Structure 1
Amino acid sequence: LSLGELALYGADGVLISAGKLEYADGASALFDEQTLVPERESYMNSTYFDEIYHARTALEHIEGVYPYEISHPPLGKLIIALGIRAFGMTPFGWRFMGTLFGALMLPFLYILLKNMFGGTAVPVCGTVIFAFDFMHFTQTRIATIDTYAVFFIILMYLFMWRFVSGGRLWNLALSGLFFGLGAASKWTCIYAGGGLAVIWLVYWFTRRREENFWSKLAGNALFCIVFFIVVPCAVYYVSYWPYGEAKGMSGLAMLFSEDYAEIVINNQKYMFNYHADLVATHPYSSRWYQWIVDGRPILYYLANFGDGTKSSIGAFLSPLLCLGGLLAVIGAGIRAFKKRDGRAAFILIGYLAQLLPWIFISRLTFEYHYFPSAVFLTLALCLMFDESRKAELPGWRGNLLAFTVVSVALFVMFYPVLSGLRVAEWYSTHLLKWLPSWPF
């Protein structure tokens, strides 16, 4: 156990001066920087929400300690640990990698949009709309694992699109690899894998009349067994390396030991039972039918200062993306079935793959579980704008630009309740609280 600076408080909550303390020789270093002790705990100097689990577990991986938080696969917390290694066990350190991955989402999303829709206006505006989405901003600033799941979902769908739109097999292989990395970060990526499987089946169904169809299908199926089952399972299995080391194992040989395999298998059982049997309540929990209309944001942080100001951090989608995207998804569904539009089907399948499983889950859920769906809401909106462009509808460019500008304006308007910025209570309570169920 390592200690930096130690601050002691009296029963009245007041910091006890170091001059009033008696301590053994050698302990003076624990009390020599009392001026650096913050006046009050906040998200700027402490963990908030699930950071208390994930940042701690990331540090435990660094220190070789068996992890405390084992209700999710290890990879996301191992990525968080990279930031801690670089910048220390500080808020900046444990949040760095999430913010980096949040930024890296954008160029890959742009490439996906460019591949699907061509041109420049739609991909650029679509990327800006997602970049200024509330959830994208809030979720990538907190040291939890959802950011990595969404990052890998974007990549696995990017390369699946490249394959089904005429690309080579290496695109399919990369899609499978990123599926494995995503699954090793959070199980929500397994839902995405289900979407990829449906897309793959639809792709081959549309080619059923081609010459040598069955031999082509069989060869591709074997390829997918390697890159969507064998490789992901290997990635997933190896991600438990720190668990093995914490139990005293070392070297490649541990991967082939019964003890290591038992650790991995037992953790899968634990995770399944944990999520299946979780019985808990939370004041900011919500259900899937609330997510799709921004009905109940989750409040990550709230501090009242007693002077008419407060600081809060809420996680929810931009209302414009949430509602506009939902209408666009419905439109994509209509296009997929009526016009056999491949792009629309791709988007619809991806969206439903992320949403439908939550309909059947009775455990405690939160709006941040809708974060992966924001990717497909963005794609659906871009599809509608691109169809307007192709149909040469008057004003399509102006509508696209207006939607983008309003998205940015809403982000600026709601920035205080997304970032924790201290503002007057009337601003968040009266100007930003559009629904009674919004908790800030």
Structure 2
Amino acid sequence: MIWGWAYRWRVQLMATGVGVLAALLRFVTLSYPKALVFDEVYYARGAFSLLVFGYEGDWSGDDQWFASGNYSGLSSEGDYVVHPMVGKLLIAVGIKIFGPTPFGWRVMEALFGVALVVITALIARTLLRSTLFGGIAGVLLAVDGLAITMSRTALLDGFLAFFAMAGFGLIVWDRERFRRRLSARMDAARAEGQDPTLGYGPRMGIRWMRLGAIVVFALAMSTKWSGGYFAAVFLVLSIVWDMTTRRSLGIERWFGGSALRAIPTFLATLVLMPTVYVATWWNWFATDGSYARHWAETHPGKGVTWLPDSLRSLVEYHRQMWEFHTHLTTPHSYQANPWGWPLQIRPTSFYFEDVNAHCGAERCVSAITSIGNVAIWWVAVAAVLYALWRLVRRRDPLGFVLSLGFFAGWVPWLPYAYRTIFTFYSIVFIPFLVLTLAWMLQRIAQPRGRGTWSPKGTLIVGVYLGIVLIIAGYFLPLWTGNPIPYDYWRMHMWTRPWI
């Protein structure tokens, strides 16, 4: 009887299990280190000033004054920030609830990191039609080093990863719902003696999940502009899925019907995305001290003159932000060529300090290095290549569809290899690499399709997952910053670029 109950609730149990695992790895000792880690110096302090002034004020003095409770470096002069508001507003929520403490400025990042693991597992379960492999996808993301590190650090990219994956999830679940509703309407039409395959097929009304996806993608873009790439890729995928669904159900004008009914989606995108984006700048509009808030008033006749002064100022501000991003070439010790991101060739060191701790050695260090779990990353790259092979040779598109988010998050950066950019940006596409990897593992364990297990393939998958967990345990201190002997840290530096 208990097994029957467990089977009925298997999806909920799976989601809870991977969520608990992710939470343990992200929330335990979240307050450590009690310092601003890497670019937290910009985003944690910026979020705090949002609570004080309603806008981001400029900071002076030592970068670590803030972590020690000294806020005297904050001035009312607007700070020139180069990213949209959503991520910093979310960090501010944590500070508002828990105070300007390390836990306070990291808690929302950790919460969204756990949610990212759970929705990745649910999306995998839906597309792979397997609760087991959905759970495997969730576990893989839960124990990945980059995902753990980014969930424990108050940066923007973790929020971007969540919104990109959540938007994709809404596209996936919209497809499932659309197919069920379309089939039901066609069956109802046949029952009434009509032929539903003639013409463009039945009308389906408003696609609320697709509209929700547009809003979520707008929030992604309102966190970092690169979220727009995910919107473009997955909204096009949604239309392609509509076409394949109509064609599979035998609708005569499947292409024209899908294209015609994509017009409202296109128009909704043109309205919703800029509306949501501009709305996320509400505090910039509502305050006088924000950077460039009154630029139009002091520069009459310049910029986009037909816009109201406030919007003209915002457009000019965005022009300055664009100039910054496209010309940022200041050398940095941990900048990394995007060609090496998928193989984690040059991970980012977020934090490294000698500490006075009892670690069993003369020299103890606290290090946070965003090295991904190489057993996941290196094999996931092979999974992407396998997906491309399956698409070409076997006409199996699922693996390629799962890897689209990887290409959306990686390829746009390749032309900007000359810029000062970092490997940790790849947090936005590791969930999609995990989806592709779970798909490949399913193909290995069930080469003839779901329900037919290969003993050899199952053993390979089991051994591989064991290796993933062993490497996760080995590298965990470098992902959480727990004090360790310096020699133990050196043992983890497998290649020179990692040091």
Q: TM-score range by the shorter chain?
A: 0.7 to 0.9
> Secondary structure in 1 aligned to 2:227?
helix
Match of 1:194 in 2: 232
Q: Is the 8 A contact 2:86 2:219 kept in 1?
A: yes
In the alignment, which of 458, 464, 472 is matched to residue 397 of structure 1?
A: 458
Match of 1:438 in 2: 498
Give runs of aligned pairs for residues 50-61 of structure 1, distance below 5 A. Answer: 50-61=39-50
> Secondary structure in 2 aligned to 1:171?
helix
Match of 1:234 in 2: 275
Structure 1 runs of 4+ off > 6 angstroms? none
When residues 134 and 273 of structure 1 are mapped into structure 2, their CA distance, relative to the original with a 3 A threshold, is same
Counterpart Cα distance in 2 of 1:99 and 1:263: 34
> Secondary structure in 1 aligned to 2:33?
coil
Match of 2:110 in 1: 99
> Secondary structure in 2 aligned to 1:279?
coil
CA shift for structure 1 position 104: 1.1
CA shift for structure 1 position 198: 4.1
Counterpart Cα distance in 2 of 1:262 and 1:316: 42
**Partner deviation per Cα, 1:59-101 (whole Å, 9 max, x = no partner):** 1211225322521110110011100100111111111100111
Q: Is the 8 A contact 2:164 2:217 kept in 1?
A: yes
Deviates more, 1:133-142 or 1:203-212: 203-212
Counterpart Cα distance in 2 of 1:75 and 1:263: 19
Verify: 1:146 aligned to 2:157, yes or no: yes
Give runs of aligned pairs for residues 255-266 of structure 1, distance below 5 A. Answer: 258-266=308-316
Q: Which amino acid aligns with 1:302?
A: F
Q: Is the 8 A contact 1:179 1:228 kept in 2?
A: no
Q: Which amino acid aligns with 1:287?
A: N
- RMSD between aligned alpha carbons? 2.2
Q: Is the 8 A contact 1:325 1:380 kept in 2?
A: yes
Match of 1:71 in 2: 82
In the alignment, which of 347, 358, 364 is matched to residue 297 of structure 1?
A: 347
| Aligned residue-pair number | 390
CA shift for structure 1 position 381: 0.9
Verify: 1:127 aligned to 2:135, yes or no: no
Q: Is the 8 A contact 2:88 2:156 kept in 1?
A: yes
Q: Which amino acid aligns with 2:214?
A: G
CA shift for structure 1 position 212: 3.3
Q: Is the 8 A contact 2:145 2:370 kept in 1?
A: yes
Q: Is the 8 A contact 2:86 2:223 kept in 1?
A: yes
Match of 1:282 in 2: 332
Q: Which amino acid aligns with 2:496?
A: P
> Secondary structure in 2 aligned to 1:292?
helix
Q: Which amino acid aligns with 1:241?
A: W
> Secondary structure in 1 aligned to 2:349?
strand
Counterpart Cα distance in 1 of 2:335 and 2:454: 42
Match of 2:364 in 1: 309
**Partner deviation per Cα, 1:194-243 (whole Å, 9 max, x = no partner):** 32144245435645784233552344322322443321211111000111
When residues 87 and 69 of structure 1 are mapped into structure 2, their CA distance, relative to the original with a 3 A threshold, is farther
Counterpart Cα distance in 1 of 2:388 and 2:80: 39
Counterpart Cα distance in 2 of 1:317 and 1:113: 20
Q: Which amino acid aligns with 1:387?
A: R
Match of 1:411 in 2: 472
Verify: 1:352 aligned to 2:368, yes or no: no
In the alignment, which of 172, 178, 194 is matched to residue 210 of structure 2?
A: 172
Counterpart Cα distance in 2 of 1:148 and 1:230: 23
Counterpart Cα distance in 2 of 1:218 and 1:118: 28
When residues 125 and 218 of structure 1 are mapped into structure 2, their CA distance, relative to the original with a 3 A threshold, is closer
Q: Is the 8 A contact 1:177 1:227 kept in 2?
A: no
Counterpart Cα distance in 1 of 2:153 and 2:476: 15
Deviates more, 1:62-71 or 1:272-281: 62-71
When residues 210 and 70 of structure 1 are mapped into structure 2, their CA distance, relative to the original with a 3 A threshold, is farther
Gap runs ≥5 in structure 2:
1-30, 57-78, 182-206, 291-306, 357-361
Match of 1:13 in 2: none
Counterpart Cα distance in 2 of 1:155 and 1:190: 14
Counterpart Cα distance in 2 of 1:357 and 1:219: 29
